[in-house]
Structure 1
Amino acid sequence: MSMGDGKIRVKREEQSEEQHDPSVKQHGEWLAKLEETSRTKQQAFMNGIAEKLRRPRQLEAPEHPYRGAPDFWQSFEWTLDEKIEQFTSNFVSVGGHVARLADWNEVRGFIASKAEEMGARYVIRQNQSELDGLELESALPEVEVSVWNEGGGTSIDWKARAAEADFGIVVADHAAAYTGSVTVLSSKDKGRSVSLLPTVLIIIVPIERLVTRLGEILAPLDEGGREKLPAGVHFITGPSRSSDIENDLTIGVHGPGIVYALLVG
């Protein structure tokens, strides 16, 4: 039997099934009617919205004269003083803390002072060359300092250490003044747990990495392509905040409850 003969036989079997079981045909008619009723209700619903808005329904997709941010926004930029002022205002408005420091020696002194003030006993930091220069081991003689992924251990071990830490210390890759957000990228030397799990997070922001708009940070990441994306891109705007449970605002549930951004330079 040819394939054509097989199709004819299947068709005849379907017709035979409908003849011997009328419910098959009735079922198909019922589904078609149900679909028609649903579409009628949908049209009535959309017409009702248009009527309340006092405008005709939009039946065709609107034209998009441009994609992304308009040109005026792409060229918008604050001066350095304005960026510092706006970043500070926005970061503090959501519960964060900002300190303006002249150099890395002042960063070292700030961390030592906060560790003594808060009674910190365990600090974890990213494995970054900028942080090597702080020599935290000598600055914090009474505190145990761990460097992410240094000296072996599994990822689970390091996550556990981060969860036990009083302070987590990272260097920001970028910061956006308009939203008061700090960007931290992940890699094997920069585990995201360092910024997510300790009680207190200290983010060191070199002043030259502070930009006006978030788009200035996102565009280069997009242009680099998927292959060049880091393991993680994390935007931090103040301490962890959650209102998931009965709309009750709680600080520090999903991350550090205290966050410092140190603007350096």
Structure 2
Amino acid sequence: MAETYEAWLKQMEAQSRAKQNDFMNDIANKLKRPRVTEAPKHPFRGAPDFWKAYELTEEERVERFTANFKAASGFVERLSDMEAAKRFIADKAAELSAHYMIRQNQPELNEMALEQALPDAKVSVWNSDSEEHWKARAAEADFGIVIADHAAAYTGSVTVLSSKDKGRSVSLLPTVLFVVIPLERLKTRLGEILLGFDEAGREQLPAGIHFISGPSRSSDIENALTIGVHGPGVVYALIVG
């Protein structure tokens, strides 16, 4: 039985390959050019050397990131320190009547002590209670607050990694998102960020790597742009430093 089944599989594979060959030959004939049977050579891999050497100054990075992030309907604020970032978020909470917030469980955000600046609001810390349904809490939140692991000026993108203390729902589900970007984490090119993931190796990659370039934007239906369908409709990038 095994030999019969194996022979049948080989027969089916041969028939499939013959059909595939006829299909590709038909395309080549219609294009009126020879059939390509070997993979083309790729003498260059990755970004060219001149692009790898491209580097903006600190202020140029801030200016480029700001322009690109705003072009994607995001908001950018340059703040002197984490205390100023805390005041900015607290002021926005008062302005927008935000009463429930959720933030990542990260040392930088712990030190910010946002809870003290918002005595009338509830600030939850992701995964701080094993009995809590954290996805539901994130979906209910007015504000989500995360700290950027990286940011790229040339594309106006923020990189946020996920882990048990940095749930992706914090940046995905709340109505308004605040991304705190320490100035030293703002790079010129996206390739500088991606290189680190390559060098780390597959086993060291985080649970999720998320690139945020402004609020959620979708034009799936009749090519009509809609903001906030698949994520926060308002995103603030707070560059600190």
Structure 2 length-normalised TM: 0.88
Deviations 1:68-113 (A, max 9, x none): 1111111111111111111111111111110011111110110011
Alpha-carbon offset, residue 246 of structure 1: 2.4
- Between the aligned partners of 2:125 and 2:26, the Cα distance in structure 1 is 63
Match of 1:117 in 2: 95
126, 134, 140: which is aligned to 1:164?
Answer: 140
**Residues 229, 47 of structure 1: CA spacing in aligned structure 2 closer, same or farther, 3 A cutoff?**
same
Match of 2:85 in 1: 107
- Between the aligned partners of 1:40 and 1:158, the Cα distance in structure 2 is 54
Match of 1:208 in 2: 184
SS at match of 1:178: coil
- Between the aligned partners of 1:258 and 1:110, the Cα distance in structure 2 is 15
- 1:71 partner letter: D
94, 115, 125: which is aligned to 1:137?
Answer: 115
- 2:219 partner letter: S
Match of 1:183 in 2: 159
- Between the aligned partners of 1:239 and 1:160, the Cα distance in structure 2 is 21
Tell me whether 1:43 sits opposite 2:25 in the alignment: yes
172, 176, 194: which is aligned to 1:196?
Answer: 172
SS at match of 2:112: coil
- Computing the radius of gyration over CA atoms, which structure comes out larger, 1 or 2? 1
- 1:250 partner letter: T
**Residues 207, 50 of structure 1: CA spacing in aligned structure 2 closer, same or farther, 3 A cutoff?**
farther
Tell me whether 1:65 sits opposite 2:47 in the alignment: no
**Residues 41, 166 of structure 1: CA spacing in aligned structure 2 closer, same or farther, 3 A cutoff?**
closer
SS at match of 1:205: strand
Aligned length: 230
SS at match of 2:232: coil
- Percent of pairs with identical residues: 63
Contact 1:50 1:57 in 2 (8 A): no
150, 153, 167: which is aligned to 1:174?
Answer: 150
Aligned residues: CA RMSD: 2.2
Alpha-carbon offset, residue 177 of structure 1: 0.6
Match of 2:222 in 1: 246
- Between the aligned partners of 2:173 and 2:125, the Cα distance in structure 1 is 15
SS at match of 1:133: helix
Alpha-carbon offset, residue 41 of structure 1: 6.1
Deviations 1:106-163 (A, max 9, x none): 1011001100111101010111111112211110111111011113324xx0000000
- Between the aligned partners of 2:74 and 2:28, the Cα distance in structure 1 is 44
SS at match of 1:263: strand
Superposition misfits of 4+ residues, deviation over 6 angstroms: none
Contact 1:239 1:252 in 2 (8 A): yes
Q: Which moved more, 1:196-205 or 1:144-153?
A: 144-153
- Between the aligned partners of 1:193 and 1:171, the Cα distance in structure 2 is 14
Alpha-carbon offset, residue 264 of structure 1: 0.5
Match of 2:105 in 1: 127
**Residues 40, 170 of structure 1: CA spacing in aligned structure 2 closer, same or farther, 3 A cutoff?**
closer
Deviations 1:158-210 (A, max 9, x none): 00000000000000000001111000011111111100000000000000000
Gaps of 5+ in 2: 5-10
Alpha-carbon offset, residue 44 of structure 1: 4.5
Match of 2:129 in 1: 151
Match of 1:17 in 2: none
